[in-house]
Amino acid sequence: MCSTERSTWRSDWARGAAGLMGAIAAAVTSRDIRCMWYDNILETIGDTPLVRVNRLAAHVPGTVLAKLEYFNPGGSVKDRIGLAMIEAAVEAGDLQPGGTIIEGTSGNTGVGLALAAIARGYKCVFTTTDKQSPEKIAILRALGARVVVCPNDVEPEDPRSYYQVARQLARETANSVYLNQYDNPANPAAHVRSTGPELWEQTDGRITHLFVGAGTGGTISGCAAYLKERNPDVQVIGVDPYGSVYYKYFHTGEFDDDEIYPYVTEGVGEDILAGNMDWDLIDDYVRVTDRESMLMTRRLAEEEGFFVGGSCGMAMAGALQWMEAHGDQLDDNSVSVVIMPDGGYRSLGKTYNDAWMREQGFLSDE
C-alpha cells in the first residue's frame, strides 16, 4: 500500500466510525473491485515473470533477464504445450472423449499434459527414463498418470527405449494417441502464441538476444519464429549439454554418433534430431559441461534467489559464455533473455544435494 493510501485511511479512522463505514461502502460499490479467480488450473499458465540477473551478469554489457518458467502451475515451461497438443489431437480426430494420452517425457511435458488431461477428462500414460529425477516421476503419479520407466542407456531405435515403448503402448491401447512432442507442430505453435509474445511485450520490443537450451526444440523454435517476425535482428543462441548431438549438427551439418554419451543435465540435448528444431532460426550454438551447469544452477539460487533446475544453470552458463566471447556484439542497449525452464524442487536430490554433487565429481571434498 502506498503512503497516500495509508494517510487517507488514517484520516478516515480519525473521523470516526461513520467515516470508516463510508469508506467501506465506497470500496464495495467501486467498479474497481472484481472477482479474481480462474475457471481452472490451465488458465494460470503463462505470463511468467522476467527478472533481471543482477550479480551473475554484472560483468557483461547491457541488461540480462531470466524468464522464470517455474511460475507455471505445473512448475515448468512445458505446461504451455500440454493443452495445445491435446486440442490439436482432438481437432485432428485422433483423440475421442475419455481417451488416453501417451507420451515419452523427461517429466515436465508429462506434468503439463496431466494438468490438461485432468481439466479435459483424459487418462495419461507416460514413458520416461531411469535418468530422470524420482521427484518428477512421483509428480506424474501424483497427478494420476501411469508411468513406465525405461532404460536411458539404449539406442532410440531399441524397443526398450522410451520413444519406442510409447509407440508400442499407443498401438496396444484403444482410443489413445501418441502425441510425439518432438515432431508435433502444436509444440512450437504454443510458444509462438504465448512465450514469444510475452518476451516481446515484457521487454517492450527491446529484446536483442535470446538464449535457450533445447530438447524437443519447441521453445527455441517457437520463440525464435515469433521474435524474428517482429524483429529479424533478434539473435537466438542455442545451448547444449556435452553428450548431445545438437551443437555439432548446428556447426557442421553432421549427425555424429560419437557425440552421444551419457550426461546428467535433464530435459535438454538429444540423441536424435527432433523435427521441431528449426535450424534456420538459430544464429549460434554453445555447449556446457554437466559440472558447469550444476554449479551455475546452485549459483542462480544462492546469488539471485532463482530456485531453478539444472537446465537453467546450463542455459545461464551458456549465455554468459557466449556474452563473454562476443562482447563486441553487445552494448548498453542490449537486452538478453535466458529461458529458465523449471524449478529446483525436482532437483533437491541431485543438484542441491552435496553428496550427489561430490559423487559426480562436481564438488571437491572439503
Q: How far apart are the first and last CA of the chain?
A: 47
Grid cell of 279 as nine digits: 535450424
**Residue 313 near residue 297 (C-beta atoms within 8 A):** yes
> b/e for 219-238, b at 16 or more Cβ within 10 A?
bbbbbbbbbbeeeeebbbbb
In the complex, which residues of this chain contact ligand PMP (CB under 6 A)? 76, 78, 106, 108, 213-220, 266-268, 309, 311, 341-342
The β-bridge relationship of strands 209-213 and 235-241 is parallel
What is residue 302's DSSP assignment? I
Q: How far is the CB of 13 from ligand PMP (least distance, A)?
A: 51
Q: How far is the CB of 59 from ligand PMP (least distance, A)?
A: 25
d(CA 122, CA 310): 31
CB atoms within 10 A of CB 161: 22
Q: C-alpha 137: how far from its chain's center?
A: 17
Q: How far is the CB of 261 from ligand PMP (least distance, A)?
A: 19
For the chain, helix, strand, coil in percent to 5 are 45, 15, 40
Put residue 175 in one of left, alpha, beta given phi > 0 → left and psi -120 to 50 → alpha: left
Q: Is 350 a catalytic residue?
A: no
CA distances from 141 to 11, 122, 127, 149, 252 (A): 55, 15, 12, 12, 41
Which is catalytic among the residues 78, 136, 228, 350? 78
Catalytic amino acids?
78
